[in-house]
Amino acid sequence: MTQQSVKLKLRQTQQLNQKQQQSLRILHMSSLELAEEVEGWLADNPMLERPEADPADSGAPEPHYSADLPITRKTNSMEESDVWETVADEADFRSGLHAQVCEHPLDEGQAALVHLLIDYLDDQGYLNDSLTDIVENSPLEWMLEEEDLAEALRHLQQFDPAGVGARDLGESLLLQLARQQPSEAVFCAVRLVKHFLPEVGKNSLSPLVRKKFPEYSVATIEAAQALVAALNPFPAYGLAGSGHTEYVDPDVWIRPDPESGEWKVGMFRQAWPQLQLNQEYCELLAEYGGEAPELKQKLSEAKVLLSSLEQRKSTVLRLAEIILEKQADFFSFGAIGLVPLTIKDTAAHLGLAESTVSRAVNQKYLACPQGIFPLRYFFSQAAAYSGSEDSDGISPGAVKAVIESLIAAEDKTKPLSDRAMADRLALQGIVLARRTVAKYREELNFPPAHQRKQKAGS
């Protein structure tokens, strides 16, 4: 006779109510997806209607004033025909990884396997499928071997961004630590990740580590903790997923006021559905509410939907204000003025969850005198650090702008190699590996030096 046992576990979880789930879903949508969603609302809920068009409305963008930033140079007017010619492509981290394959000493077979593994990565850069599962679920004619895939994975884990291709958080952190300059704090950080990862953020960690590894001082342990905390838990965090948007409606704009010279943030009305409660039905419900429970339910649903739309609008506008505040130099000087800006820091500044900010920047676009850009364009980790102690680093966009200027000014008969550009960047305090320079050059669609070379006099 078998015995059955019952075990109870107490655990704390966070449950989102229906209103919160609806709000987050709407926040994640693009303007085109939202427009389709709203059509469904109107067909399903008689308590919603579109407001009548105001004859006095000229269709101009609704102004929304933000931080006062003086114009430091004259900017072009934002004509619709001009901005659509400068729509910026969202970066796809998988495409970037595929492009890096040629930068590594791989034979044809190894390269093919690395390409295969890249396509198995999730949107955060992790490999969630086991190598065994990949082999078993691949066509037999591919004749994959787990040992060969393991070798290809070791190559992939040397790609940028650091930590990509990891199977779990611990492996990703160890891959990132392996690229740090050797030091006692780095060695200690490696041991923390291997033995104390769940406790890394706790203040009581030092006694535990001292007991197991007495050779480390409290100062070294604290430095190692700070080092681990500064690592990126999601290798592809802030990078767009695959897919190319063929048509977009910008959601918000940032432009200088022609009179005051101050920068403003505003929204494009066509990107934000205009809805209101049907007043006629509201009056009927107020009079005969007890006899129409279905209509009362529809009114409750309509209020939730309208509240979600307002919250979406408020969150995106607040994000645009942060972008204007933090990336002020971009709007005056272009990409070279970009500075590192993380979703984590932005979420803390706005008092929101990181996941909320991540949803808010998803498929949202900003129009400015420089063109139309996905909101994600303005968020990035530091690509390099300058020699200044006060520097917070230099964003990938700014680095690309410098590389573009170097190529534009180079001697066409003796074009700069990736190594030479890395050396030039180092002289400006921007320290990058040669392969990182090559990656940025390819993302700018510039061929290598030998293909850019021109004959004298041509």
Tokens of 41: 């609302």
More confident residue, 52 or 289: 52
What pTM was estimated for this model as a whole?
A: 0.51
Of 113-122, 137-146, 158-167, 250-259, the range with the lowest mean pLDDT is 137-146
User: Which of 406, 394, 381 has its CA nearest to residue 431?
Assistant: 394
Transcribe 358-380 into DSSP letters. HHHHTT-EEEETTEEEEGGGG-B
Q: What is the pLDDT of residue 155?
A: 92
Query: Residue 314: is it exposed, middle or buried by C-beta count within 10 angstroms (0-12/13-18/19+)?
Result: exposed
Lowest mean pLDDT among 1-5, 207-211, 363-367, 379-383: 1-5
pLDDT at residue 272 greater than cutoff 90? no
pLDDT beyond 50 at 12 = no
Among the listed residues 45, 35, 56, the one whose alpha carbon sits nearest the alpha carbon of residue 274: 35
Per-position b or e across 389-416, b if 16+ CB within 10 A of its CB: eeeeebbbbbbbbbbbebbeebeeeebb
Average pLDDT over residues 339-364: 84
- Three-state SS for 63? strand
- pLDDT score, position 140: 67
Which residues share a beta bridge with 240?
92
Average pLDDT over residues 122-134: 82
Residues 224-253 have pLDDT tens digits of 888 887 888 778 765 544 444 445 678 999
Higher pLDDT, 318 or 61: 318
User: What mean pLDDT is predicted for residues 166-171?
Assistant: 88
Residue with tokens 């939202």: 34
Quick one: DSSP state of residue 138?
S
Q: Among all chains, which residue has been given the structure tokens 């160890």?
A: 174
Query: Could you tell me which residue, 155 or 14, shows the higher pLDDT?
Result: 155
CA distance linking residue 60 with residue 71, whole number of Å: 22
Residue 324 has pLDDT above 90, yes or no: yes
Measure the CA–CA gap between 289 and 297, rounded to whole angstroms. 10
Selected residue with higher pLDDT from 332 and 91 = 332
**What pLDDT, on the 0 to 100 scale, is given for residue 55?**
52
**Predicted confidence (pLDDT) per residue in 175-213, tens digit:** 999 888 888 888 988 888 888 777 766 666 778 787 888
Give the whole-number percent of the chain exceeding pLDDT 70: 77
φ/ψ of residue 300, rounded to 5: -60, -45
Task: Tell me the mean pLDDT in the region 78-93.
Answer: 47
Report the alpha-carbon distance of residue 5 to residue 261 in Å, rounded: 74
Cα Rg for the chain, rounded, in angstroms? 27
Distances in Å between the Cα of 218 and the Cα atoms of 149, 184, 192, 221 are 41, 12, 13, 5
The chain-wide mean pLDDT, for the chain, equals 77
Between the alpha carbon of residue 19 and those of residues 26, 272, 443, the distances in Å are: 11, 20, 41
